[in-house]
Structure 1
C-alpha cells in the first residue's frame, strides 16, 4: 500500500484578500455584536463625526459651523445599503474633488465579485442594524477591513459629499466615508489618480498609457482588457485657467472618467471603433460624433442601434477611438492578475 502524502491545510494570511486585517484593530463583528447587545448605535471614536474628519479647505467656516451629522434613518424613512444591486448610475459627485475615486467606483460596479469584496454582503439597514458598516480596501499591498459608523455630514438636510440618485440608497456615501477614514479625512480625497483608486479596490496591477502617443493597436488592447474583465479609467488634460471647465463639446477639463466598454459598428460601409465613457458626475456628456444625439447612429444597423445606443442624460456616452484619444490624455488599465499587462 503506497504511503499517503501529508496534506497540509493552506493557512490564511492576515492581510490577504480572504482574511483582511481589521483597520485600527476594529473588529466589525465584535463591535456590531456589542452594539446589538447594549441597544446602542455604534459611534466611531477613531473617525469622529466632527470637522476633523472633514478636514480643512473643503468647506467655508460658515458652512463648517452648520454641518449636521445624520444617520440614514434620520434622513429617509426606509434606508437601504443597496437597492437593486450596485450600478455605475447610482450616484452623483458631491462637494469634493474626488472624481478619480468615483471613476474607479464606476469601473468596479461592472464586476460583481470585486464589488462583493469591497462591500461585504453581511450588512444592511434591516437585519442586525447597529449603525456600523465595513468596507475592504487593498492598502499598501495588504487588504484591510475598515469600520465606520453611519453618521454622514449634511447641510440643510442634504448629504454634502457623494449621494445616490435613489434617495434611500447609501452604499456610495458609506464607502466614501470608509475610504476617507483610511486616508485621514474627506479632504485627503480632494484630488487624486484613477490608478490609485483602481489599485485600492482590487489589489491588482495597472498600466498607464499616454493617449497622445497611443500605440496603433490601442483600441484592440482595450477590447482585450474588456474581455479579460480588466478595469479602465481615463483623464482629460488640465485647463489653462481652472479645473473642471466644461468645453463646448461637453468634455470636462482636468476630470476623471470611467471607460465602460468598447465596440465596433458598421457605418456607410466602414467599420468604426467606438469607446464608451462615463462621467462620474452622473450627467454631462460628449456632444460630438457618436454622442447620444448624433445623427451617425441613424447609419448603423437596427440591431446595433438597439444594442448600443441609450439616449439618457446619465453621464455615459459613446465616441470614436480617434476622438477619444484627442479628448483624453491618459488611460489606466488595471487587472487583478498581471498577465494581460505583460
Structure 2
C-alpha cells in the first residue's frame, strides 16, 4: 500500500520486509495462511487460544451488570444468521452500530475508515468469507508503533440471548465490523480495554498517518478551508462533544450525547435565502440520536434550499447522521481530529512529496531519562537525534516544512493499564564545529533551545515547525526525570532531510 504524498526513508522496516504493509508482522506469532490451511485439511473450525471466548477476553465492563455478564454466550456469525456474510455490497459506516461496550471513539474511527477504500482494504482484507475456505478464522491488519501487524482471530462473538453484546450488524447479516472490533480488542488486551479513548488513537492504528487536533472553542481562522482540504484528501475525520455539566446541558437541549465521539463525514456550502451557509455532516456511531437544532433532519431550513440540494442531503433520516451549521458545530463540539497519510492536507500543497523518517528510542530511569531542564548535565543523558535539512523549497518565509512526532510505546500489554508520561522535546541548532556522534553538554551550556515544545500527557505529540537549512539536534524527554518508556520519533520533511 503506497501512501500518497509520502516517501518512507530510514523507517523501522525495509520496503517489503517484515512489518511493511505488504508483509505485516505476525501478531503473537500466528500465521493466518498456515493456520487456515491446517484447519481446512482437518475440517475444523478455529478457536483462538491466545484470545479465548471467556470473561477474561471480555474484560472489565463498567456499564454491564455482573449477572448479565454471566449470561454471555460466544457464538459464531453462522450461529446467529445462517445467511451471514463478511461484506455485502461494499463497506459503509451504516453497516454497523455500537453495542454495550463504551468504545464510540473506535467505532467513529471505523466509520471514517470506510471513506478510505484503499486503506480499508489494507486493514480489512476483503478476500474473507463464511462460505469459501471457511474455517472460523479471520485476520485484520493494524499499524502498531512503526510496523504493520497481522492479527488472527476466531469468529466467536460475545452475545446475550443471541444478541451481540458489542458492535452489531445493522442488517443482522454483515459481520466485517464486529470481527474487526474483536481483532482490535485482542490487540488492546480485551473488549474492556477498549473502553474510553479518542479517535486519533484508532486513526493512527489504521494508517500510521499524521493526525491534527483542533480546539473548536477557539477555532483557527482557516478551519473551514482545512476541513475542505481534508475531505478532498480523503482523510479520516472525527469530533467529540463536551463532557460534564456543559455536556449534559447540550445533550438535554440539542440531542447530542455528552462526552461522545462522532465521525465527521462531509462539508457542504448551500444557498439559503440568498446567503451562503457552511454545513458540516456529523455521524453518531450509535446509529441513532441526532442533533435537533438548525439544519437537523427535521429542520424547516431545508425548505429554503433547492430541491436538488435537499434531495442530496436528505436521502436518509434517523440513521444517526445529521447536518449542522459550521458555527453550531464549533459551539457544541469540543474538538475535531483529522488524520491522513501525509501532512499535505494541512497547507493544501498536493504536489509535495514529504519525506518520512522513523526511529525507535527508549528512556531508561537513571541512565537516559534526564528530564526537561536543558541547563543541567542530566538533561544531556536523554536520547539525541541529529537532523540535517539539506534544502528548503518555496518563497514564503516562515512556511512550516517539518513535522515532528513523538509517540510513546508502552511496555504494558493491556491498554487500560497503560500510563502515559508527559512528554516533549527541545530542538537546538548544531554549531559547525560540532563533532560527529553524541554531543556534550559543554557545547550547548550557553545556548537556548531554538524550539521548546509544550509537554503533554499523551500517546503522541505532534508539532509543525519551520526549519531553515542546517543541522539540528532533537532531544525528546519526559517532563519528570527518571521515567522508563520506549518511544518512536518521526520526522516528516517537505524537502530532503536526514535523521540519525
TM-score bin, normalised by smaller chain = over 0.9
In the alignment, structure 1 segments of 5+ residues that lack a partner are 1-9
1:110 paired residue number:
115
The SS at the match of 1:180 is: helix
CA drift of 1:184 comes to 0.4
1:38 paired residue number:
42
CA drift of 1:110 comes to 1.1
Aligned-residue CA RMSD (Å): 1.6
Give me the whole-angstrom Cα distance separating, in 2, the residues matched to 1:245 and 1:296: 21
Cα deviation, 1:247-289, whole Å, max 9, x if unaligned, reads: 2211111000000000100111110000000000001111111
Give me the whole-angstrom Cα distance separating, in 1, the residues matched to 2:235 and 2:148: 19
For the pair 1:54 / 2:58, whether they are aligned, the reply is: yes
The SS at the match of 2:252 is: coil
1:29 paired residue number:
33
Compare CA radii of gyration and give the structure with the larger one: 2
The SS at the match of 1:212 is: coil
For the pair 1:205 / 2:205, whether they are aligned, the reply is: no
Higher strand share: 2
For the pair 1:75 / 2:80, whether they are aligned, the reply is: yes
CA drift of 1:241 comes to 9.1
CA drift of 1:243 comes to 7.7
| Selected match of 2:152 from 129, 147, 168 | 147
Cα deviation, 1:283-321, whole Å, max 9, x if unaligned, reads: 111111111111111111222222222341000000000
Give me the whole-angstrom Cα distance separating, in 2, the residues matched to 1:165 and 1:306: 24
The verdict on how the C-alpha distance between 1:116 and 1:299 changes in structure 2, with shifts beyond 3 A counting, is same
Give me the whole-angstrom Cα distance separating, in 1, the residues matched to 2:247 and 2:295: 28
Q: Which moved more, 1:58-67 or 1:162-171?
A: 58-67
Q: Which moved more, 1:267-276 or 1:244-253?
A: 244-253
The TM-score, its normalising length taken from structure 2, stands at: 0.65
Give me the whole-angstrom Cα distance separating, in 1, the residues matched to 2:249 and 2:144: 29
Give me the whole-angstrom Cα distance separating, in 1, the residues matched to 2:15 and 2:316: 51
* Matched-pair contact (CA < 8 Å) for 1:244–1:255: no
* Matched-pair contact (CA < 8 Å) for 1:79–1:170: yes
For the pair 1:319 / 2:324, whether they are aligned, the reply is: yes
The verdict on how the C-alpha distance between 1:156 and 1:330 changes in structure 2, with shifts beyond 3 A counting, is same
> Which is bigger in relative contact order (C-alpha 8 A, separation at least 6)?
1
2:166 paired residue number:
161
Higher helix share: 1
The verdict on how the C-alpha distance between 1:248 and 1:311 changes in structure 2, with shifts beyond 3 A counting, is farther
1:138 paired residue number:
143
Give me the whole-angstrom Cα distance separating, in 1, the residues matched to 2:257 and 2:178: 23
* Matched-pair contact (CA < 8 Å) for 2:267–2:280: yes
1:283 paired residue number:
288
Give me the whole-angstrom Cα distance separating, in 1, the residues matched to 2:53 and 2:79: 15
The TM-score, its normalising length taken from structure 1, stands at: 0.94
Give me the whole-angstrom Cα distance separating, in 2, the residues matched to 1:241 and 1:56: 28
| Selected match of 1:332 from 327, 331, 337 | 337
* Matched-pair contact (CA < 8 Å) for 2:247–2:257: no
* Matched-pair contact (CA < 8 Å) for 2:58–2:192: yes
1:14 paired residue number:
18
| Selected match of 1:64 from 64, 69, 74 | 69
Give me the whole-angstrom Cα distance separating, in 2, the residues matched to 1:285 and 1:98: 18
2:454 paired residue number:
none
After superposition, residues 131-280 of structure 1 pair within 5 angstroms as 131-240=136-245, 246-280=251-285
How many equivalent pairs are there? 333
Give me the whole-angstrom Cα distance separating, in 2, the residues matched to 1:22 and 1:122: 18
